[in-house]
């Protein structure tokens, strides 16, 4: 039976059908103080042209990377995306096809996966890469689960300098596994090596570090890898793909598994993701690698072709043999990363990384010259750094910058209450000298924190 509720009679008929006497009875379970005791204040209807104009006015109030200078970071960055990435990735054969799992998947998609895997291995110095996972946090969790599977151990040691959201994901995964997660403090912006040595033992499955870390500081991965290996544990490194234009690769530092958020490789900021999870490892762990691996072979006529070499999902093999229950793949983002890496090449990656390095250090210099800010940590950094507001008014500094179309950074107090006077600033190759100078000028002044809106938090 369908009700239109156009008349009181219709309403009464509906009430009788469901066995109640009045509309008020429908809301009996809602406390009286939470009910609206007046008619809704709904304006008159608008025509299409009026509605379009109204929505355009509302949208123009948003501050986004197309109309502002973005210094936000913490895992998602405003890097330049060459037009060719959009042009190729938007082709119908890539853009409209759901990420396929079947062995008979088209050769074009398989080749794109193979090329992506090859470039990730070249980028990281690792032996093998899968065809990606959901995003950086999932990649971290999958890498840690791999380590536990390889070592048959149930203890994970990480650092407070690892992205707090990555650590939250681990805690969620571990809630029903009984895994011990030890978080070593990082009071100086990097992990305390003595505390790390005390935490790692013969029950440790892996040591998880981020380099550059959440604060932008550079960790000593080589030393941590030696420590982990001495106890039979693995070293998992979370890295920034752009940083490898100038920093040593995870494989060269002794990492067993390398993971990353791949958003910076050709994908624009999109409401926080999910983006692309990069996951690569040593060849001896290949059968523990979740997801899919595309391989190159020859057909019966001797021509080069591609196949799905490994598919370790439970849909493809016996459930007890599966390494992960991942049920989709960020194939389109992996394609964008492959296009980006092929376009830039080694020299292009180095130039982008050098621009980030130089501009971020110039930004720190300008911010600290005002006398209002000082470096939060005395550590080397790549493109991201934390500054302490000596006035202790981070909200005011953010409001002052936002008034001039500048997204100044992320307040560290969001995750670290002991650093509520600190601001995390990221500087990519897109930022200009004028934008950096404006950031330093406006951040040195304050607006009342009452001027803050939702975007600040």
Residue-wise pLDDT for 316-329, tens only, equals 555 666 666 555 55
Q: Is the pLDDT of residue 2 over 70?
A: no
Average pLDDT over residues 171-198: 95
Q: How many Å from the N-terminal Cα to the C-terminal Cα in the chain?
A: 47
Complete DSSP assignment for 382-442: SSEEEEEETT--HHHHHHHHHTTTEE--EEGGGT-GGGTTEEEEE--TT--HHHHHHHHHH
CATH code for 69-79+346-456? Answer: 3.90.1150.10
Confidence of residue 100 (pLDDT cuts 50, 70, 90): low
- Average pLDDT of the chain to the nearest whole number: 90
Q: What is the pLDDT of residues 378-411, one digit of tens each?
A: 999 999 999 999 999 999 999 999 999 999 999 9
pLDDT bracket for residue 456 (50, 70, 90): very low
At residue 418, the pLDDT reads: 94
Identical fold between 69-79+346-456 and 83-342: no
At residue 353, the pLDDT reads 98
Using pLDDT thresholds of 50, 70 and 90, give the confidence band for residue 270. Answer: confident
CATH topology of domain 83-342: 3.40.640
The token duo for 439 is 């950031």
Judge whether 277 and 330 are in contact, CB under 8 Å. yes
- CB distance 116 to 332 below 8 Å: no
- Residue spans of beta strands (DSSP E) within 1-75: 69-70
pLDDT score of 77 more than 60: yes
Q: What is the mean pLDDT of residues 325-342?
A: 82
- Cβ contacts of 407 within 8 Å, gap of 6 or more: 63, 65, 68, 69, 70, 71, 72, 401, 455
Domains of the chain by residue range? 69-79+346-456, 83-342
Average the pLDDT over 434-444 and give the result. 94
pLDDT in tens, 219-265: 999 999 999 999 999 999 999 999 999 999 999 999 999 999 999 99
Q: What percent of the chain has pLDDT over 90?
A: 70
Closest by Cα among 69, 2, 168, 23 to 434: 69
Q: Is the pLDDT of residue 14 over 80?
A: yes
Helix (H/G/I), strand (E/B), else coil: 177: coil
């Amino acid at each position: 039976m369908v009700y239109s509720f156009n008349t009181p009679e219709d309403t009464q008929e509906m009430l009788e059908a469901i066995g109640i006497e009045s509309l008020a009875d429908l809301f009996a379970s809602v406390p009286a103080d939470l009910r609206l005791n007046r008619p809704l204040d709904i304006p008159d209807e608008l025509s299409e042209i009026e509605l379009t104009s109204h929505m355009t006015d509302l949208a123009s109030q948003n501050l986004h990377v197309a109309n502002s200078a973005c210094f936000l970071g913490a895992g998602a960055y405003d890097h330049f995306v060459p037009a060719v990435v959009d042009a190729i990735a938007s082709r119908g054969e890539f853009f409209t096809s759901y990420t396929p799992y079947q062995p008979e998947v088209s050769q074009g998609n398989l080749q794109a996966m193979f090329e992506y895997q090859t470039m990730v291995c070249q980028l990281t110095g690792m032996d093998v890469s899968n065809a990606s996972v959901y995003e950086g946090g999932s990649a971290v969790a999958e890498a840690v689960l791999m380590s536990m599977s390889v070592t048959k151990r149930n203890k994970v040691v990480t650092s407070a300098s690892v992205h707090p959201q990555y650590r939250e994901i681990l805690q969620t995964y571990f809630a029903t596994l009984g895994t011990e997660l030890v978080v070593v403090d990082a009071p100086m912006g990097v992990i305390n090596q003595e505390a790390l040595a005390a935490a790692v033992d013969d029950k440790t499955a892996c040591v998880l570090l981020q380099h550059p870390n959440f604060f932008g500081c550079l960790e000593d991965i080589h030393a941590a890898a030696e420590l982990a290996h001495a106890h039979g544990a693995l070293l998992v490194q979370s890295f920034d793909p752009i940083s490898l234009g100038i920093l040593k690769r995870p494989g060269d530092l002794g990492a067993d598994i390398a993971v990353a958020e791949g958003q910076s490789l050709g994908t624009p900021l999109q409401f926080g993701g999910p983006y692309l999870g990069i996951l690569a490892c040593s060849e001896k762990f290949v059968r523990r690698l979740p997801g899919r691996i595309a391989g190159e072979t020859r057909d019966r006529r001797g021509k080069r072709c591609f196949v799905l070499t490994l598919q370790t999902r439970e849909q493809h093999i016996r459930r007890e043999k599966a390494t992960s229950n991942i049920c989709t793949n960020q194939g389109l983002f992996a394609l964008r990363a492959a296009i980006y890496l092929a376009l830039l090449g080694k020299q292009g990656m180095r130039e982008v990384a050098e621009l980030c390095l130089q501009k971020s250090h110039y930004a720190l210099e300008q911010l600290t010259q005002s006398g209002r800010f000082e470096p939060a940590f005395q550590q080397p950094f790549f493109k991201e750094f934390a500054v302490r507001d000596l006035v202790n008014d981070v909200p005011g500094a953010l409001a002052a910058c936002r008034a001039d179309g500048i997204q100044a950074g992320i307040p560290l107090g969001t995750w670290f209450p002991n650093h509520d006077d600190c601001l995390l600033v990221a500087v990519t190759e897109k930022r200009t000298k004028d934008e950096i100078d404006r950031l330093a000028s406006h951040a040195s002044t304050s607006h009342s924190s009452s001027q803050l809106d939702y975007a600040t938090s």
